[in-house]
Amino acid sequence: MAMKKTDLEKNKALKLTQSLKQAHSERFGKGAADAAVNRREQRKLDQAKGLVPFACKLDGELVATLKERAAAHPEGMNGLIDALLRQALAQA
């Protein structure tokens, strides 16, 4: 039995949406796996250096100033915070 044109178009649309969903999930699934591996590797490297995560709450203006200075610092935010804390502790 021959299908109507509208049924054919519906089937085409369903096939297209299914293929897009599968391609979409695979693409992001692969990226998420790579990011998790990179985080693990980074964590291992940090642990080997003796680095420990340390979180605190700071004023918004201070954070903005730190971000500006960190952009020019060769080691980024972590290096800047390390240098500033060491300097302040040496003076205390």
- Tens of pLDDT, residues 13-69: 999 888 877 765 555 556 555 566 688 888 888 899 898 888 899 999 999 999 999
Residue 70 burial by Cβ neighbours in a 10 Å radius (0-12, 13-18, 19+): middle
* Per-residue pLDDT at 25: 55
Greater model confidence, 5 or 27: 5
State the first-to-last Cα distance of the chain, in angstroms, to the nearest integer.
89
Query: pTM here?
Result: 0.54
Residues 12 and 38 in one domain: yes
Residues 11 and 41 in one domain: yes
* Per-residue pLDDT at 81: 94
Residues 41 and 70 in one domain: no
**Overall domain count for the chain:** 2
Residues 45 and 65 in one domain: no
Residues 83 and 39 in one domain: no
What are the distances in angstroms from CA 77 to CA 1, 41, 44, 80?
69, 19, 19, 5
Residues 5 and 27 in one domain: yes
Nearest to 84 by CA among 72, 58, 5, 69: 69
Residues 64 and 88 in one domain: yes
What are the distances in angstroms from CA 69 to CA 63, 74, 79, 85?
10, 10, 11, 14
Instruction: Identify the domain containing residue 79 by its residue range.
Output: 54-92
